[in-house]
């Protein structure tokens, strides 16, 4: 079994989202953020499409670096990583993002707020760090 590490690009977004979905299928935070009672039977892949669009948006950011690992035997992505170079200014500005109906937005916002609070507590106003 061999694997290849290479740069990831926008056409890889769907495969990366599927890889992430497999990795976090039983993740408690993910299951709370996307509870089954909010899933739309008419659009069961809504969160997947949202994640793919979000991945493409992240890949488009200044200073973005994304890598993927592919299983050479079947060509499937088995891992990936994405980050922003220090000082790339990827902070969100502008309108509130569109969230999928299958997301508990309040849970998501609370999680994001906690991450931002911890980042500020640990790093202060520093901009010379890598953001994963």
| pLDDT at res. 128 | 77
Tens of pLDDT, residue by residue over 47-69, are 999 999 999 999 998 889 999 99
Average pLDDT over residues 18-45: 93
* Cα(123)–Cα(132) distance, integer angstroms: 14
| pLDDT at res. 89 | 63
Average pLDDT over residues 96-115: 92
pLDDT exceeds cutoff 50 at 1:
yes
User: 131 pLDDT band (50/70/90 cuts)?
Assistant: low
Q: Identify which of 91, 82, 79 has the alpha carbon closest to the alpha carbon of residue 115.
A: 91
Average pLDDT of the residues of the chain:
90
User: What is the DSSP pairing of strand 77-84 with strand 3-7?
Assistant: unpaired
Cβ partners under 8 Å of residue 50, min gap 6:
99, 100, 103
Tens of pLDDT, residue by residue over 67-94, are 999 999 999 999 999 998 887 665 554 4
CATH of 3-123, one of 3.40.630, 1.10.357, 2.40.160, 3.30.70: 3.40.630
């Amino acid at each position: 079994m061999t694997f290849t590490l290479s740069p990831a690009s926008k056409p890889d977004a769907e495969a990366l989202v599927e890889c992430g979905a497999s990795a976090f299928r039983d993740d408690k935070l993910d299951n709370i953020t996307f509870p089954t009672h909010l899933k739309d039977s008419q659009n069961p892949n809504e969160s997947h499409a949202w994640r793919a669009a979000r991945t493409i948006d992240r890949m488009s950011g200044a200073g973005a670096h994304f890598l993927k690992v592919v299983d050479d035997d079947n060509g499937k992505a088995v891992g990936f990583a994405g980050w922003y170079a220090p000082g790339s200014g990827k902070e969100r500005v502008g309108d509130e993002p569109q969230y999928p109906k299958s997301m508990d937005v309040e849970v998501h916002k609370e999680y994001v707020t906690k991450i931002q609070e911890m980042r500020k507590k640990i790093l202060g106003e520093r901009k010379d760090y890598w953001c994963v």
